[in-house]
Amino acid sequence: MSSQKLDEVVISKAIIETYTKKFLENLSLDVAIAGGGPAGLFAAYKLAQKGHKVALFERKLSIGGGMWGGGIGLNIIVVQDSGKAILDELEIRTDQYAPGYYTANAVESVGGLIVSAVRAGAALYNLMSVEDVMIKDARICGVVINNSAIEAAGLHVDPITVAAKYTIEATGHPLEVLKKVEDKCNIRLNTPSGKIEGERSMNADMAE
């Protein structure tokens, strides 16, 4: 154990200065990702791995989306061959349950995704909500973010903007960012209706 006495102010300065330095470095990005579930994390990992400047913004305290709980709180996930290839790349262990079906520990899987994304160079920001996008010349060119606690409390505090050449919608089922774009920008999406198609009832073959 160290005999050095701790200085609480030094700890505070270390947190503030380190976070601020990192944040300032990520105000102009190649790619901004809204949502820190497995899709957003894997996108962050692959893009950062190729040298792109990437930051991911997740509203919740924990990054990983709903994957932590597996199915109905049983923290096991099931993947197909293509999913196994991804887990193999990230050195996440799998077991074959049946031909074409592989199980993995959900907690290990999320942890592996997070570590891989960070080590590849992606910046991950939890407790940050993407509440809107920035649009110039009819093109999305950044995201508008706010602290999640401010948003949850309903406080009237201005957000800030992060510039990005590309933005990935990875909020999962809510499609929070895409809905904002659809509502405000009167655009036609590349879907049969030109709008968000919405969710359908369970059909694993179609969905996966």
Residue pLDDT, tens place only, 109-136: 999 999 999 999 999 999 999 999 999 9
The answer, yes or no, to whether residue 15 has pLDDT greater than 90, is: yes
> Does some domain include residue 139?
yes
Residue 77 pLDDT level (bands cut at 50, 70, 90): very high
First to last CA, the chain: 51
pTM confidence score: 0.93
**Interatomic CA distance for residues 149 and 153, integer angstroms:** 6
DSSP 29-96: EEEEEE--SHHHHHHHHHHHHTT--EEEEESSSSSSTTGGGTBTTB-EEEE-HHHHHHHHHTT---EE
Residue 126 near residue 61 (C-beta atoms within 8 A): yes
Tally the domains of the chain: 1
> Does some domain include residue 17?
yes
Distance of CA 18 to the CA centre of its chain: 21
Q: What's the maximum distance between 2 C-alpha atoms anywhere in the chain? A: 67
What is the token pair recorded at 82? 């293509």
> Does some domain include residue 192?
no
40: CATH: 3.50.50.60
Domain span at 35: 8-185
> Does some domain include residue 206?
no
Higher per-residue confidence, 2 vs 171: 171
Contacting residues for 75 by C-beta, under 8 A, at least 6 apart: 68, 69, 105, 106, 107
> Does some domain include residue 15?
yes
Which pLDDT belongs to residue 173?
A: 86
